[in-house]
């Protein structure tokens, strides 16, 4: 039976033993008491998972937890778009996702390690590989949580004075934080940083007790779906081939596309036949040669 979350403009919610949490913005789950849904269990990590909205869909993303996140009995190997009625298990807690206003399924795809996913932009049919992590910073740009992720994104651009406890975000990010601190509006523009073929987007999830919860994601252009279809592949075959190029196994592709392993295997067979090859490595090489990828 569908669950009504109680507000027509906030149709999505999580139901768990602690009650019902309406999803209006990013929702953090973990052992710390300042999470939106705190889980008082040693099996839960301090920042275990996050739910966030992208392109009118809600996604769950494992924030590098020790014990993982299960959705409908399967451990996440990648972030995942949630559907009405999905069951989420984190440590000893069972949470159920409800969305009374969910749009029909579309070919949104998710890939990579637990913090990687791909989004179809409304005006762009080519998926983009995205890495998303949580950083918590002070108003001065001190990285209070998320050192490892910050180094992944910013590398040598991070600063730390001799004897200082915390690393400092790059100047452009610190200036952005200063501008946010001076604003009185409830919505804040994201910061976009271009670096070679990388696009880093930083958005403010919330500010609490002078701690800025920042969702940082990287988007990088990959072989476009349109170009893959130029090889004679169908839309679904092009999508499968994209993830083959990303190094995903057939089992991972099946989970990414929410299809059976048998269906994923059949798509592989059709792709190999159309490309005139007999294995994945040759398929990737053929794509690279024909498309210059």
Tell me the pLDDT tens digit for each residue of 244-275.
887 788 888 888 888 899 999 999 999 999 99
Answer yes or no: are the C-beta atoms of 86 and 76 closer than 8 Å: no
Worst-scoring range by mean pLDDT, 39-43, 91-95, 281-285? Answer: 281-285
Q: Tell me the pairing of strands 87-90 and 93-99.
A: antiparallel
- The set of residues, in sequence order, having a beta carbon less than 8 Å from that of 156 and lying 6+ positions away, is none
pLDDT at 123: 37
Pick the more confident residue, 73 or 196.
73
Domain boundaries 225-291, CATH class: mainly alpha
What average pLDDT score do residues 61-89 get?
87
Q: Is the pLDDT of residue 8 over 50?
A: no
Instruction: Give ∠ CA 7-8-12 in degrees, rounded to 5.
Output: 70
pLDDT at 271: 96
Answer yes or no: are the C-beta atoms of 180 and 204 closer than 8 Å: yes
Q: Is the pLDDT of residue 213 over 70?
A: yes
Answer yes or no: are the C-beta atoms of 51 and 34 closer than 8 Å: no
pLDDT at 182: 76
How far from chain centre, in Å, is Cα 113? 10
Q: Kindly indicate the confidence band of residue 223, based on its pLDDT and cuts at 50, 70 and 90.
A: low
What are the boundaries of each domain within the chain? 12-114, 128-220, 225-291
Answer yes or no: are the C-beta atoms of 188 and 168 closer than 8 Å: no
Q: For domain 12-114, say whether CATH 2.60.200.20 is its number.
A: yes
What average pLDDT score do residues 88-96 get?
96
Angle between helices 261-275 and 235-245 in degrees, nearest 10: 90
For the ranges 117-121, 148-152, 222-226, the one whose mean pLDDT is highest: 148-152
Q: Is the pLDDT of residue 6 over 60?
A: no
Worst-scoring range by mean pLDDT, 39-43, 97-101, 179-183, 213-217? Answer: 179-183
Measured in degrees and rounded to the nearest 5, phi and psi for residue 271 equal -65, -50
* Candidate CATH numbers 3.40.50.10800, 1.25.40.10, 3.30.530.20, 3.30.450.20; the one for domain 128-220: 3.30.450.20
- The set of residues, in sequence order, having a beta carbon less than 8 Å from that of 62 and lying 6+ positions away, is 48, 49, 68, 69, 76, 79, 114, 115
SS3 65: coil
Answer yes or no: are the C-beta atoms of 90 and 69 closer than 8 Å: yes
pLDDT at 4: 52
Mean pLDDT taken over the chain: 81
C-alpha span between 33 and 37 (Å, rounded): 8
């Amino acid at each position: 039976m569908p669950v009504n979350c109680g507000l027509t403009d906030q149709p999505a919610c999580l139901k768990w033993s602690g009650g019902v949490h309406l999803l209006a913005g990013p929702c953090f789950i973990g052992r710390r008491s300042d999470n939106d849904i705190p889980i008082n269990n040693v099996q839960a990590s301090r920042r275990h998972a996050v739910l966030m909205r992208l392109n009118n869909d809600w996604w769950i993303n494992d924030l590098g937890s020790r014990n993982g996140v299960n959705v409908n009995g399967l451990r996440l190997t990648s972030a995942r778009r949630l559907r009405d009625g999905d069951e989420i298990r984190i440590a000893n807690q069972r949470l159920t996702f409800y969305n009374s206003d969910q749009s029909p399924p579309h070919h949104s795809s998710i890939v990579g390690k637990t913090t990687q996913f791909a989004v179809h932009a409304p005006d762009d049919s080519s998926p983009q590989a995205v890495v998303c992590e949580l950083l918590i910073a002070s108003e001065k740009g001190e990285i209070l949580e998320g050192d490892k992720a910050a180094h992944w994104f910013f590398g040598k651009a991070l600063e730390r004075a001799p004897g200082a406890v915390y690393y400092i975000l790059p100047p452009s990010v610190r200036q952005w934080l200063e501008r946010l601190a001076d604003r009185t509006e409830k919505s804040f523009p994201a910061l976009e940083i271009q670096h070679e073929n990388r696009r880093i987007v930083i958005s403010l999830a919330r500010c609490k007790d002078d701690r800025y919860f920042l969702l940082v994601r990287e988007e990088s252009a990959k072989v476009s779906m349109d170009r893959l279809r130029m090889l004679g592949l169908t839309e679904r075959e092009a999508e499968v081939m994209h993830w083959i190029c990303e190094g995903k196994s057939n089992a991972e592709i099946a989970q990414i596309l929410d299809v059976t392993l048998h269906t994923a295997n059949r798509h592989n067979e059709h792709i190999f036949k159309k490309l005139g090859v007999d294995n994945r490595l040759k398929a990737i090489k053929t794509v690279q040669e024909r498309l210059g990828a």
